[in-house]
Chain A
Amino acid sequence: MAIGALDVACLDPSGGDFKHVVEPLVEGAMRLLESTKSRDVLTKYGATLLDLQEAKPSKQMKYNHKAADSDKVSTYLQVFLDKVRSSFPKIYLERMAADGVASRRDWGGELMDYDPKLAGHITLDYVVSSSSTRPLPLPWPRGYHFPFSLYTSLAELSNSSRPSPTWSTPKKSA
């Protein structure tokens, strides 16, 4: 299933459209998460979260799952992966001190009605992802020119002083 409604925004006025550059990376990330091994890990992790909640109830846990819900984690995981595929959280490209940050919001709803776009956004550091400060040597392998142009153009941006943004920067949480 293809990634649906992917929205990528570069938080720099001179930035371009990077959607078709980021899309294969998102696809790769989804393939990783949907692999059998990853499903096992996430199911185990989800069950751990619920067990911890049951053992030591916390006010932070907004949804009071029942103990029996631990058995449904694999179902919840499937719903989560499907929802993320069909409505991927918005991605921002911005200079920052880490590779990426997941900013989450209160999406307040039923587990089956989860909407990743409402639940937050992902900010990726294009300086780290580019790690280059000048254009890479020519000639490009044929067909790889454009993805390279992302890295080099972003790297060039990283060298210039950043103009003040004309729109509000999304709030980040750790």
Chain B
Amino acid sequence: MVNAEEERLTGRKDVASYRAKAKEEEARAQELWDDYHDLKRSRSPDTEKKRRRHASESHRPSCDRDTAAEAEAKTGARAAEQRAKDWSDKVSASRGKAANAYRNHKAFQFQMTLTIAHELVHFFTCYITGGPTAGKTPPPVHSSHYYHGPDRGEAGGYWENEMFGGAIFFYEDTQDPLMARQAGIPYLGSGEFKKATYWRVSFSYMEALVDPTKGWSRFLLRRQQVHEQVLHAPAAHN
């Protein structure tokens, strides 16, 4: 007669099916929440499930469980559904933030990696020519995206230009919730500085470059220039 009592309390005729659906959603949300919880505490999911099962079976008498079930029935299936939805929202939001943080992290790493490579090209100049004064890049070797003058060029910029077909700079993403803390979006400026076309650098390329397990070499195996593999469609806001 529990269903009849619920029907009277909630004013719904299809309490049984509604309740079953809500329970199912709640279980799914709980599972997601468990994943999130494990992720946060760095626990193995198996251990955590065992711990929960142990806690529920050993330390809660069955009569308590029945009482709790009745109380929940009285509260109504709608509350359970709302709770399930809240859980889902929380989990989605957390995972969205984590994914964004991951993207930013890879972009930071990509930026530092490019910087190190860029500086090593200056070392190469010094290696070929001699000491620090001699290491000055000759003016013909330059990139329009970097400072150069009549008395000096820019070896790192030249290397970037030849390697990627332009210079890579990071621009603010106004949609990024990290705001000032973001890495920005890397764009490849192709062509002369003031007439450059900007291309967004592929995230998978950045990810593969900073993590060898992602198989960066696949970008090189195809007999095409690297930058052709780097690029996606032209940016909407050039």
Is there an interface contact between A136 and B178, defined as CB atoms closer than 8 Å?
yes
Residues of B within 8 A of A38 (CB): 159, 163
Given A37-B163, A129-B108, also A124-B132 (CB < 8 A): no
B121 at the interface (CB under 8 A from A): yes
Residues of A within 8 A of B180 (CB): 131-133
Interface size on B, residues (CB 8 A): 62
Contact pick for B210, options A24, A77, A131, A148, CB 8 Å: A24
Residues of B within 8 A of A60 (CB): 129-130, 133-134, 136
Is there an interface contact between A104 and B101, defined as CB atoms closer than 8 Å?
no
Interface size on A, residues (CB 8 A): 73
B192 at the interface (CB under 8 A from A): no
Contact pick for A155, options B101, B135, B181, B212, CB 8 Å: B181
What is the bound-complex CA distance between A26 and B212, given in angstroms? 12
What is the bound-complex CA distance between A51 and B124, given in angstroms? 16
Q: Please, which residue of chain B has its CB at the minimum distance from the CB of A128?
A: B111
B220 at the interface (CB under 8 A from A): yes
Q: Please, which residue of chain B has its CB at the minimum distance from the CB of A40?
A: B162
A68 at the interface (CB under 8 A from B): no
Given A41-B163, A76-B127, also A48-B181 (CB < 8 A): no
Is there an interface contact between A63 and B130, defined as CB atoms closer than 8 Å?
yes
Contact pick for B128, options A46, A84, A122, A131, CB 8 Å: A46
* Chain B CB within 10 A, most for which of A22, A76, A89, A102: A102
What is the bound-complex CA distance between A130 and B119, given in angstroms? 18
* Whole-angstrom distance between the Cβ of B158 and the nearest chain A Cβ: 7
B120 at the interface (CB under 8 A from A): yes
A67 at the interface (CB under 8 A from B): no
What is the bound-complex CA distance between A116 and B125, given in angstroms? 12
> A108-150: which residues lie under 8 A (CB-CB) from chain B?
108, 111, 114, 116, 119-120, 122, 124, 128-134, 136-142, 144, 147-148
Residues of B within 8 A of A128 (CB): 111
B83 at the interface (CB under 8 A from A): no
What is the bound-complex CA distance between A35 and B141, given in angstroms? 21
> B170-206: which residues lie under 8 A (CB-CB) from chain A?
178, 180-184
In the complex, per-residue mask of A42-62: 1 if CB is within 8 Å of any chain B CB, else 0: 101110111011000010111
* Whole-angstrom distance between the Cβ of A92 and the nearest chain B Cβ: 12
Is there an interface contact between B225 and A37, defined as CB atoms closer than 8 Å?
yes
Residues of B within 8 A of A62 (CB): 129-131, 134
Contact pick for A52, options B104, B112, B138, B226, CB 8 Å: B138
Binds A, one of B1-9, B36-44, B55-63: B36-44
Contact pick for A105, options B102, B115, B119, B132, CB 8 Å: B132
Q: List 29 A-B contacts (CB under 8 A).
A: A28-B109, A28-B116, A29-B114, A32-B117, A37-B163, A38-B159, A42-B159, A45-B141, A45-B158, A45-B162, A48-B141, A49-B138, A49-B141, A62-B129, A101-B119, A104-B126, A106-B131, A108-B131, A119-B123, A119-B126, A131-B108, A131-B180, A132-B180, A138-B94, A138-B97, A140-B98, A141-B98, A141-B101, A141-B102
* A interface list, Cβ under 8 A from B: 22, 24-33, 35-38, 41-42, 44-46, 48-50, 52-53, 58, 60-63, 73, 76-77, 80, 84, 89, 91, 99-102, 104-108, 111, 114, 116, 119-120, 122, 124, 128-134, 136-142, 144, 147-148, 151, 155, 173
List 15 extra interface pairs beyond A37-B163, A45-B121, A139-B98, CB under 8 A.
Answer: A25-B112, A32-B117, A45-B155, A49-B129, A53-B129, A62-B129, A99-B118, A100-B119, A107-B126, A119-B127, A120-B123, A129-B108, A139-B39, A142-B42, A148-B105
